[in-house]
Structure 1
Amino acid sequence: MQKTFYQKELLIKATQQRKGLNNNKKDIEKIQSWLNLFATQNPNAGTATGIDGDFGPATEKAVLNFQKFNGLSQTGTVDQKVFDVLAAPLKKAFEDPIPGNNLRDLIVNTAKSHLKNHPFELVINNQSNSGPWVRSYMDNHEGTDWFWCMGFVQAIIDQAASVQGKNFKTLMPLTYSCDTVGVTGIQKKLLTRFQTARTNPALIKPADVFLIQKTTNDWFHTGIVTAVHGDLIETIEGNTNSDGSHNGNAVMNRIRNYKQSKIDFFSIESLVV
C-alpha cells in the first residue's frame, strides 16, 4: 500500500492516565477522539467528552464508561491494549481481508468494509474535517480546508489494488484534488463526460470514480460507484451527509441520479487490465 499513515493512528507512545508522568497531548487527543467516535455509534455509552489533549476527570470517566461498556477492566487508564479496542474500527477497515475475484470487486468490497466501520470526522480545535479517519485518508492532513472525499477514494483504490500487487499511482497521481483527477482523466482519455454517460450507461461500471462537475474542468466532489440501476448510480463516498454534501462529515452509501446531475466518470479499467 502507498497510503499507510493509518498505521500511526493505531498506536500510542505510552500508557495515558490522569496525572500520568508519560502523558502525551497527541496521544490523549487520539484517545478522546476515539471516545467521541464510539459515542456516535453508542450514544448511551457515556464516552463523549472534550478533545483538548488533557487527561482530566472527564476523560477518565469517559474511559471508565468505555471499559465498562466493552467488558474491560475498569482502570480509567489507556494502555496499548485498551487503545487497540478503541481504534479497532480503523484497523478492521484497513487490514481485514477483502474478498473479490477481480480488482473491481475488490474496490467495491473495500469501500463496503470501510463503510461498515463508520468513518466519521470530528471537530478538533474548532476545525472540522479532523480526526483519525480524516488523517488516515489524507496522509496526516486535517482541518476545515482539507476536504477528504478524494483522499477516501484513493485510499480505497490503493488498498484494493495492493491486494493484487498493483500501484494505484499508475492510474492517477497521489492527490486530494478532484480537479487533478479530472484533468488526468481527460489527458489519459479515461474520463466519460456526463453527456456521454447519459446516453450510454454501459460505460459506467462498478468501482469507477464519479466526479461531480461545477464547471467543465472544475469538479467538487467524488466517490466510488458501487452499482448502476437504470438512471441511478449507487455510491460509497466520503466527506458527505444525507443531503449529498461535498463537505459533510461521514462515509455514506448514497443513491444519485446521474441523468439529472453533471456527473463525469473516471474509468479504472487501465488498472484492471
Structure 2
Amino acid sequence: MTEDIIVTWQRMRAELKEIYIAAEANNDAATMKRADELAAQADKIMLESSLKTASERAAEVAAIQEEIDKASAAGKQWSPFKSIEDELRRSFRGDIADNDHLDAGPNPPDSIPLQPNDNSNIPVVSAGWSANYQSLWETMTISDSWKKAATGIVTKLVKNQGRYAAVVEGTTIPWWFVGVIHSMESDMNFATHLHNGDSLENRTVHFPPNRPVVPDPPYAWEVSATDSIHYERLDQVTDWSLPSVLYHWHRYNGIVNEYKRRGIPTPYLWSGSQHYSKGLYVRDHVFDPDRPSDQVGAAVLLKTMIDMRVIEPFETDAQLISNPKAAAGELRALQLNLKSDWASHAHFELKVPSDIGYNKRDKGKKLGVRRLQEWLTVAEFETPIDGVFLNSTQEQSEKFRIAHGRRSDAPLDEEIWSILTAPMLRALSPVGFSSSTSLEDAVLRVAIQHVVQKPRGLGGNNKGPWVRLYMEGSEGDDLNWSAGFVCFIVLQAAKELGLDMPFDRKILVNDLVCDAKKAGRFVAGSSLESPAARRSRIKPGSLFVIRDGINWSHVGIVLRVNDTTIDTLEGNSGGEAGIGGANARSLNRSFDGKDFINLF
C-alpha cells in the first residue's frame, strides 16, 4: 500500500466527517446516510488497495471523490462549505508534504520529495526558486483595479500592525509577513486560525489538521498564530530578502502542487498580476484549471506595501526593512515628511531619545527622559515628569512594552517610540485633500484631526510635547498657546494644499488682530447683528478672537456658525472662562464678546 493512498483516504474521511456533522445539525438524514455509505466505500478501497493496480485504485478513488463533491454541493444550502469557500476565500492546498521545501526550483521533476522530513532543517530558498521569484518580480505589472484592492488590504494590515508585531516579538519575522498570511488564509479574520482559516473555536480541520496541539480550544488568535509560526519553522528564518520572503509565503501554502505541475505561477503570490490568469484549488486537493482566484496575491501586496512606504525601499538582495512608523497604526503617517522646514520642531518631538536609561537625568535642553515620561503619561502609564529616570519611569516603561506585545526589556527603538508618539503622528499625517478643497475647509479638517488626538499640556502649565509643537519648541508658565495652535493648524493645511501661509505666524493674540486689521481681514462682532449677517460674513474655518477690554486674550477656529453661538476648535482652552487651559478641544461659545478674522 503506498503512502499517497493513505493520505487520500485520510482526507476523504475528514471531508465526509464535515459533511456528516453539518447534515446532522440541519436534520438532513439523506445526506447523513450518504456520507456513511461513502465512508464505508472509502474504507473498503483502502483495505483492498494492496491487491489492486495503481490505475484501478485511482479510478475508484476518483469515483468516490465525485460522490463526495455531490454530497458537499447538496449541503451548500445549509452547511458552512459555501461561506468557507466564498467568504473566507481560503487558499486551498494540493498534495502538501511537510518537506516540500526540499524542492529545488520550478524546473526539476514535480514529484513530492521522498526524503524524511527533518524538523531541525531550516528551509532556505534555493538558487532555482530565487531566480524564478526575482524574474517574476521584476516583470510584474498590476492593473489599477487590483492596486485599489491591494491598497484596501494594506490599510487594514497597518491598522492591525500591533497584533502582528506582538506575534513575531522575539523573532526576526517582519510583522507584515504574518499580516499577508492572515489576508491570504482568512481574509484578516481574527476569529480564525492563521494556519488555514479554520475557526478558533476548535483545533484546525483542514491542513495542517489538529493544530494547535496544546492548549485546548477555543484559542486566542495570538496563541494560534504563534503555533503556526513555530509549525512552519518561520521563527528559525533569518533571511528576509525579496526571494526568501516570496519563498516562505510560497512554502506556507505549498510548493509541490498542480500550479507547479502545470507551470502556473501560484496565485498565492501572483494573483492580481499579469503572471497569473486562472487555475485554482477550489478546496483542499481539488483543482479547477478554469477557475481564477479573486484574492490579491502576496507578491502584489508586497509591492503595494513598498509603494505605500510600509516597507522601506531596498536594493537587490538586501533585507526588507519595515517602516517603524507603521507601528502607529495609521497608513497616512507613513507619508509624513518631517524633514521639511515647517516641521523641524515636530521632528524633534518625534525623534527617538538617545542615551536614556535608569538613573539618567536630562541636562540643559536635552529632554530625552522627560519626553519619554510625557508620552508614557499620554498613554495612561503615568509617571512623574521631572527628567529623572528612576523606578517609576522604569516600571511604567516596562508595563507599556508588555501592553503592546513587546518584551519588558525591549530597547526603546523607533517602532516603540512610534507607538508612544502615535497621537502626534496621526495629527501630523497628510489629510488627503482634493484639488477643489478650500483653505478654510482644509483648516477645519486638520484642526479636527488634531483635536481628536486630545492634545494637552503636560508636566506643568503650558508645557509638554503638544505645546512645544504648536509654539515651535517653546514652553512655559506664561506662554499661552492658543495663537500657536491656530497658526500651526493653518500652516499645516496650507502646506498640504501647496499654498503659502496666508498671514504671518504670531504667538500673541493681539498681534494676530493687529495684522488682520492692517490687511482688512478683521470683522468686528458688533457689525454682525443678525443670524443672517453672521452666516454670510463668517466662514467655518476662519478665526474667532475673544475681547478682553481693549485687548484680545484668546483665539480659536470657527467650526460652525449658529444663530446666537459658534462651535469652535481651539487650543489652550478649559481654564477660567474657557481660556488659558490645558486642552485642545471643541467648544460652543456665544457671539458676545467675539470678533473674527478671515484667512484672506
TM-score by length of 2: 0.40
Shift of 1:79: 2.6
Secondary structure of the 1:130 match is coil
Q: In the alignment, which residue of structure 2 is the partner of 1:198? A: 529
Shift of 1:17: 2.6
Q: In the alignment, which residue of structure 2 is the partner of 1:28? A: 369
Q: Is the 8 A contact 2:369 2:389 kept in 1?
A: yes
Secondary structure of the 2:503 match is coil
In structure 2, distance between residues paired with 1:129 and 1:211: 19
Shift of 1:155: 0.5
Deviations 1:77-118 (A, max 9, x none): 523321111111111101242446221211100000001111
Q: Is the 8 A contact 1:233 1:256 kept in 2?
A: yes
With over 3 angstroms needed to count, the CA separation of the structure-2 counterparts of 1:215 and 1:19, relative to structure 1, is: closer
What are the residue-to-residue correspondences of 1:90-105 with 2, within 5 Å?
90-99=424-433, 101-105=437-441
Shift of 1:66: 1.2
Question: Of residues 441, 463, 466 in structure 2, which corresponds to 1:133?
Answer: 466
Deviations 1:30-77 (A, max 9, x none): 0001111222xxxxxxx1111122221110111111122222332265
Shift of 1:197: 2.4
- Count how many residue pairs are aligned between Structure 1 and Structure 2: 253
With over 3 angstroms needed to count, the CA separation of the structure-2 counterparts of 1:122 and 1:96, relative to structure 1, is: same
What are the residue-to-residue correspondences of 1:21-60 with 2, within 5 Å?
26-39=367-380, 47-60=381-394
In structure 1, distance between residues paired with 2:480 and 2:409: 38
Question: Of residues 454, 457, 463 in structure 2, which corresponds to 1:121?
Answer: 457
Secondary structure of the 2:567 match is strand
In structure 2, distance between residues paired with 1:186 and 1:56: 52
Q: In the alignment, which residue of structure 1 is the partner of 2:584? A: 251
Q: Is the 8 A contact 2:544 2:555 kept in 1?
A: yes
Q: CA RMSD in A?
A: 2.1
Q: In the alignment, which residue of structure 1 is the partner of 2:404? A: 70
Q: In the alignment, which residue of structure 2 is the partner of 1:155? A: 488
In structure 1, distance between residues paired with 2:376 and 2:540: 35
Shift of 1:134: 0.2
In structure 2, distance between residues paired with 1:234 and 1:153: 15
In structure 1, distance between residues paired with 2:417 and 2:473: 19
With over 3 angstroms needed to count, the CA separation of the structure-2 counterparts of 1:128 and 1:76, relative to structure 1, is: farther
Q: In the alignment, which residue of structure 1 is the partner of 2:332? A: none
Question: Of residues 516, 524, 537 in structure 2, which corresponds to 1:185?
Answer: 516
Shift of 1:246: 1.7
Shift of 1:198: 3.2
Q: Is the 8 A contact 1:148 1:238 kept in 2?
A: yes
Secondary structure of the 2:367 match is helix
Q: Is the 8 A contact 1:35 1:62 kept in 2?
A: yes
Matched, 1:11 2:344: no
Q: Is the 8 A contact 1:15 1:23 kept in 2?
A: no
Shift of 1:179: 0.3
Q: In the alignment, which residue of structure 1 is the partner of 2:563? A: 230
Secondary structure of the 1:14 match is coil
2:466 maps to a residue whose letter is W
In structure 1, distance between residues paired with 2:545 and 2:507: 13
In structure 2, distance between residues paired with 1:139 and 1:194: 31
TM-score by length of 1: 0.86
In structure 2, distance between residues paired with 1:27 and 1:145: 23
Q: Is the 8 A contact 2:433 2:497 kept in 1?
A: no
Q: In the alignment, which residue of structure 2 is the partner of 1:42? A: none
Shift of 1:184: 1.1
Where do 5+ consecutive residues of structure 1 fail to align?
40-46
With over 3 angstroms needed to count, the CA separation of the structure-2 counterparts of 1:253 and 1:2, relative to structure 1, is: farther
Higher strand share: 1
Higher helix share: 2
With over 3 angstroms needed to count, the CA separation of the structure-2 counterparts of 1:37 and 1:69, relative to structure 1, is: same
Secondary structure of the 1:129 match is coil
2:474 maps to a residue whose letter is H
Shift of 1:196: 1.0
Q: Is the 8 A contact 2:362 2:387 kept in 1?
A: no
Shift of 1:15: 5.6
Deviations 1:238-264 (A, max 9, x none): 001176522100001001111xx2100
My pick for the range that moved more, 191-200 or 127-136, is 191-200
Where do 5+ consecutive residues of structure 2 fail to align?
1-339
**Quick one: percent identity of the two aligned structures?**
26
Deviations 1:101-151 (A, max 9, x none): 22121110000000111101012xxx4100000000000110111100000
2:505 maps to a residue whose letter is L
Shift of 1:172: 2.3
In structure 2, distance between residues paired with 1:235 and 1:244: 14
With over 3 angstroms needed to count, the CA separation of the structure-2 counterparts of 1:75 and 1:190, relative to structure 1, is: same
**Structure showing greater relative contact order (alpha-carbon pairs closer than 8 Å, 6 or more residues apart):** 1
